[in-house]
A = this chain, B = another copy of it.
């Protein structure tokens, strides 16, 4: 039994650790490294992903309501299904709740409120809550495993030299909200909704999968980090024109490309996909679709601003390498 060929991962301390885990697992690992695990089953392909949200790492209870915490955790996981062009079936949730958690009555139970948010996010894309585990924890924990099916899943692998690189929506809203919250200010309601109640791009992902997408990834770690993953997985170089990146009003492009937890889709499409096709997409989904770059010969991601090379900061890394010395 030869070990499976894992999808190459991009740079970063977190991915160094994942590489070490995959090496440690050896033949006990499946085909790892995509947004979803893909399992052929009974004539269809099952797509599964898991996404953990931890208090004080991914959210703070003074920033978000409990239903928002649940919605956001579920949307993050569902976004992985979107990135594979999958149709959601449902979600399983491990929920950790402190012993002293908010619990004045059945109607005012944080566990109930979080799960209501999970249920609403699932319902918004036609899925259900299928099961879960409720445990006592020191801090709130919402770990969501989502299941879906994909007739023609789109992976991170598959972008070709010459493909156009497109992005859905507008970037930087999550970062803008975070900046306001960290400064102790309440963000503008629309910006706050963008942060608290992100929309998993399920319909958009399916449409792009059906219209020729060669590779796709969601921007959970931000464009900088996720473009590097797509480039590494597909074995191509990527060139991104910063001035084309669709940014939320008031967000500089350099911040927009670093903004994590955006839950938009980055997608490679063949050259036959142009403005007329993009217009059809926008009409079908009420959502921008913008060409920001090209897949090229080489490795890694190069950024330009009106033709001039630009250095961009790295995206978020759960496990940054220790400082030298």
Chain A residues within CB distance 8 Å of chain B: 14, 17-18, 20-21, 23-32, 34, 36-37, 39, 41-44, 46, 48-52, 54, 56-58, 89-90, 92-94, 96-97, 99, 106, 109, 111-113, 115-116, 119-120, 122-123, 128-139, 141, 143, 145, 147, 149, 318-319
6 sample A-B contacts, Cβ–Cβ < 8 Å, listed by A number: A18-B134, A25-B129, A28-B119, A50-B94, A52-B133, A99-B319
Q: Which 9 A-B pairs have the closest CB atoms?
A: A42-B42, A28-B119, A37-B130, A37-B131, A52-B94, A145-B145, A30-B130, A24-B112, A30-B128
- Whole-angstrom distance between the Cβ of A71 and the nearest chain B Cβ: 12
Contacts of A26 in B (CB 8 A): 119
| A48–B130 CB distance below 8 A | yes
- Whole-angstrom distance between the Cβ of A159 and the nearest chain B Cβ: 21
Minimal Cβ-Cβ distance residue in B for A15: B134
Contacts of A138 in B (CB 8 A): 56, 138-139
| B94–A129 CB distance below 8 A | no
Contact A128 to B29, CB < 8 A, known contacts A52-B96, A94-B50, A109-B17: yes
| A46–B46 CB distance below 8 A | yes
| B115–A24 CB distance below 8 A | yes
Select A129's contact among B32, B43, B49, B145, beta carbons within 8 Å.
B32
- Whole-angstrom distance between the Cβ of A309 and the nearest chain B Cβ: 32
- Whole-angstrom distance between the Cβ of A63 and the nearest chain B Cβ: 18
- Whole-angstrom distance between the Cβ of A130 and the nearest chain B Cβ: 4
- Whole-angstrom distance between the Cβ of A121 and the nearest chain B Cβ: 9
| B20–A131 CB distance below 8 A | no
Contacts of A112 in B (CB 8 A): 17, 20-21, 23-24
Q: CA A133 – CA B17 in complex, angstroms?
A: 11
| B111–A143 CB distance below 8 A | no
Contacts of A129 in B (CB 8 A): 25, 28-30, 32
Minimal Cβ-Cβ distance residue in B for A25: B119
| A134–B92 CB distance below 8 A | no
- Whole-angstrom distance between the Cβ of A79 and the nearest chain B Cβ: 13
| B36–A41 CB distance below 8 A | no
Q: CA A27 – CA B319 in complex, angstroms?
A: 39
Contacts of A23 in B (CB 8 A): 106, 112
- Whole-angstrom distance between the Cβ of A73 and the nearest chain B Cβ: 11
| B131–A28 CB distance below 8 A | no
Contact A54 to B132, CB < 8 A, known contacts A21-B115, A28-B120, A39-B90: no
Minimal Cβ-Cβ distance residue in B for A21: B115
Minimal Cβ-Cβ distance residue in B for A35: B131
- Whole-angstrom distance between the Cβ of A314 and the nearest chain B Cβ: 16
Contacts of A119 in B (CB 8 A): 24-26, 28-29
Contacts of A54 in B (CB 8 A): 96, 135, 137, 141
- Whole-angstrom distance between the Cβ of A135 and the nearest chain B Cβ: 5
